[in-house]
Amino acid sequence: MKALYVHGKHDLRLTEIETEAPAAGEVQVTLARGGICGSDLHYFNHGGINAIRIREPMILGHEVSGVVSAIGEGVTNLKEGDLVAVSPSRPCGNCEECHRGLPNQCLNMRFYGSAMPFPHIQGAFRETLTAMASQCVKADGISAAEAAMAEPLAVALHGARRAGELLGRRVLVTGCGPIGLLCILAARRAGAGEIIATDVSDGVIPFAKAAGADVVINTLKDPEGLAPYTAGKGTIDVMFEASGVEPALRGGMATLRPRGRIVQLGLSNDMSLPMVMITAKELELVGSFRFHEEFAVAVRMMQQGLIDVKPLVTHSFALADYEAAFAVASDRSQAMKVQLEFA
């Protein structure tokens, strides 16, 4: 079978590797769809993410779905032919953080397509994937393209949990890429009263409005667009920061009410924070990293029609056309979510 490796900056190679038979507790999945994530683009465009660098060839990908093609011993909850969303989250279950009930913070996490440890954790962009049955969530009733969106939706749902009470709240979302848009969808489903979204591209405005944003501001064209929300000591209750850019974080903080909460999802470089403002307004800044149990919830919400991710998938390419797929995914003016088609 073929797998898509990154060897360094702008160096992708489709390589033949051996197919692994499923062991006890595992299933073999013939991949159908795989979404190109921001981290995949960082590895491709920059050879790494900040200090994390590619030090050996690594299979990319962690947003995948496929059809069960073989069953390992002892697996009873899945059968051949089942469409499944495959969670990339594989905590050990035995470390201190897992025992504290924080599997997303596992000390021995094996998350598909991550260069954080060495040897790197190989990813899921391969024609056939052997996975633990516990990673696989049945996705009957939705398409393979939707099932492959379970991972980024789970990220947004975890962020919504970190945000706390959203019912009736005024919410700001900074950065309207896939994660930001999914945060809009999650906040709206959680009962947010008003949602304001910002970005620096006009191309995302229709997506943000379709996702449920009441107001969308291009802060590049309108640097003072958030000024009305800074009245008094601020008028925003909760902020989802999904850009990873310091000006967006600082600008959003100025709109927050005293004791407002910032949920930081965007990962980029470290930022300098306005500590006087944080202290004086008693702001809460919380991180939101990955997910775990939210993955199955994401699939269920799509199955029940509670969240519609279909408009976010703007392009799909055959696996053999991976170079074109990554070029389009790297151009925000062209695409929102790009997926590879494996079958």
pLDDT in tens, 105-116: 999 999 999 999
Q: What is the pLDDT of residue 318?
A: 98
Residue 128 has pLDDT above 90, yes or no: yes
Q: What is the pLDDT of residue 98?
A: 97
pLDDT tens by residue, 137-170:
999 999 999 999 999 999 999 999 999 999 999 9
- Mean pLDDT across 190-204: 97
- Mean pLDDT across 183-206: 97
- Mean pLDDT across 300-316: 98
Q: What is the pLDDT of residue 332?
A: 87
pLDDT tens by residue, 13-22:
999 999 999 9
pLDDT band at 255 (very low <50, low <70, confident <90, very high): very high
Q: What is the pLDDT of residue 31?
A: 98
Cα distances (angstroms) measured from residue 34 to each of 13, 162, 221, 227? 16, 27, 34, 40
Q: How far apart are CA 31 and CA 83, in angstroms?
A: 10
Q: What is the pLDDT of residue 50?
A: 84
Each domain of the chain, given as residue ranges in start order, spans 2-149+309-341, 156-287
For the chain, what is the HEC assignment? CEEEEEEECCEEEEEECCCCCCCCCEEEEEEEEEECCHHHHHHHHHCEECCEECCCCEECCCEEEEEEEEECCCCCCCCCCCEEEECCCCCCCCCHHHHCCCHHHCCCCCCCCECCCCCCECCCCECEEEEEHHHEEECCCCCHHHHCCHHHHHHHHHHHHHHCCCCCCEEEEECCCHHHHHHHHHHHHCCCCEEEEEECCHHHHHHHHHHCCCEEEECCCCCCCCHHHHCCCCCEEEEEECCCCHHHHHHHHCCEEEEEEEEECCCCCCCCCCHHHHHHCCCEEEECCCCCCHHHHHHHHHHCCCCCCHHHEEEEEEHHHHHHHHHHHCCCCCCCEEEEECC
pLDDT tens by residue, 50-89:
889 999 999 999 999 999 999 999 999 999 999 999 999 9
Q: What is the pLDDT of residue 283?
A: 98
- Mean pLDDT across 308-316: 97
Residues 6+ apart with CB under 8 A from 341: 32, 33, 316, 317, 318, 319
pLDDT tens by residue, 279-300:
999 999 999 999 999 999 999 9
Q: What is the pLDDT of residue 269?
A: 76
Q: Side chain identity at 62, as an amino acid letter?
A: H
Q: What is the pLDDT of residue 157?
A: 98
Task: Please give the share of the chain, as a percent, with pLDDT higher than 70.
Answer: 100
pLDDT band at 39 (very low <50, low <70, confident <90, very high): very high
Q: How far apart are CA 36 and CA 247, in angstroms?
A: 26
Q: Token pair 């799509």 is at which residue?
A: 302
Q: Side chain identity at 271, as an amino acid letter?
A: M
Q: Side chain identity at 84, as an amino acid letter?
A: V
Task: Please give the share of the chain, as a percent, with pLDDT higher than 90.
Answer: 96
Superfamily of domain 2-149+309-341: Medium-chain alcohol dehydrogenases, catalytic domain (3.90.180.10)
pLDDT tens by residue, 324-343:
999 999 998 889 999 999 97
Average pLDDT across the chain, whole number = 96
For residue 258, whether the previous peptide bond is cis, meaning omega lies within 30 degrees of 0, is no
Residues 6+ apart with CB under 8 A from 63: 34, 35, 36, 37, 88, 148, 149, 150, 151, 152, 339
Instruction: Give the CATH number of domain 156-287; options: 3.40.50.2300, 3.40.50.720, 3.40.190.80, 1.10.3720.10.
Output: 3.40.50.720
pLDDT tens by residue, 261-280:
999 999 877 888 999 999 99
Are 28 and 70 contacting, i.e. CB atoms less than 8 angstroms apart? yes
Higher pLDDT, 51 or 196: 196
Residue 225 has pLDDT above 90, yes or no: yes
For the entire predicted model, the pTM comes to 0.96
Which tokens is 263 given? 């949920």
